Amino acid sequence: MAHPLMHTYGRLPVSFSQGHGAWLKDTDGQSYLDALSGIAVCGLGHAHPSVTAALQEQAARLLHTSNLYGVPLQEELAGALCPRTGTDAAFFCNSGAEANEAAIKLARLHGHRRGVTTPRILVMDNAFHGRTLAALAATGNAKAQEGFGPLPEGFERIPFDDLAAVDRAAADYDDIVAVLVEPIQGEGGIRVPASGYLAGLRERCDRNGWLLMLDEVQSGVGRTGRWLASQHEGVSGDVVTLAKGLANGVPIGACLARGEAAEILGPGSHGSTFGGNQLAACAALAVLNTLDEEDLIQRAEHLGKRIQTGLRERLADEPGVLDIRGRGLMLGIELDRPCSDVVTRALDEHLLINVTAQSVVRLLPPLILTDDEAEQMTDQVAGLIRGFLRDAR
């Protein structure tokens, strides 16, 4: 009999049965330090008591009605997110891809209302915005797009962190209506743009009447040491998308907008059956309250600097390490060769990490990581990279 699951994932040979804090326990009872947190999802770690209590209470009361009716918890969540992100209104869905789909539709309506019949969105090389068709078309990864054509049109791809490329596109096309960009590219290899890049995008969007749309699906919700990664540069987006860390594992996405952009989507123009239902909204509110009560965003910044310093000290004499970069607890170590083997070596040592862009070891640990756990993770990662590079010589 064929496997009952479609083979859409290259799964590692481990399954987990429970978790607590930064640790997961597999089905054989072995413990693993989770330095990936479900790819930036479980920022509060596993089984955080505040999220567990909120979910238990809400599950006993009401899970779902419909967006046909008022959802007070959803309104409360929007009221909590907007001031944190400098926006005015929220649309809730189930994932980052759906949040970006909403942003793309919003940008196209913005264009049509301005009389642009074929609105074009500037997107970046090596970007990742999701696997639904429009989000995939916006994604700058040819391998992810391979075999799925024809993809939706209306995207103009330019190099990331290159304001001159934005100016050339502005000169070449009069139908640009928006820029969609990750403030830090996650799947693209934890790439942090030069200081002034986001401000430069903001200025050009203002000058040309474009929307600046910030994909903070991976970098948002405090992971980088600010609520949004773009806040490190003091830049506000007209549209901001969130998802991964928003509800600590309960599926939710958000497309937030400000000013005129907040008024573009109306009844019938977009929707979601499950988006922002009572269960997801109560989990997200518990996450927001816990981030504040435990001062975890400031801790992410502190821990990130400490881990980066520790990795640089331990790997200073390794010529195969090209760069150690990131912000807060969104960290990458770029090697001079493909390094997917590091993931399986880490698994053998009961450490969960990830490799992205083929040669970048990616660390996305939970924000509740203790000092001792951060030290253990730094030691293990440095040792794994040393061993991998030594064996590859």
Active site residues: 128, 215, 244
Q: Give the H or E element holding residue 333.
A: strand 330-335
- Among 189, 301, 182, which residue's Cα sits nearest to residue 230? 182
User: What is the rounded distance in angstroms from the CA atom of residue 185 to the CA atom of residue 165?
Assistant: 17
Structure tokens at 344: 């399986």
Burial class (CB in 10 A: 0-12, 13-18, 19+), 88: middle
Structure tokens at 312: 């640089």
Percentages helix, strand, coil for the chain (3-state, rounded to 5) are: 40, 20, 40
**Neighbouring C-alpha atoms within 13 Å toward the C-beta of 175:** 13
**Neighbouring C-alpha atoms within 13 Å toward the C-beta of 172:** 11
Residue 61: CB atoms within 10 Å: 10
- Angstrom distances, CA of residue 104 to CA of 32, 212, 229, 255: 39, 11, 20, 10
3-state secondary structure of 158: strand
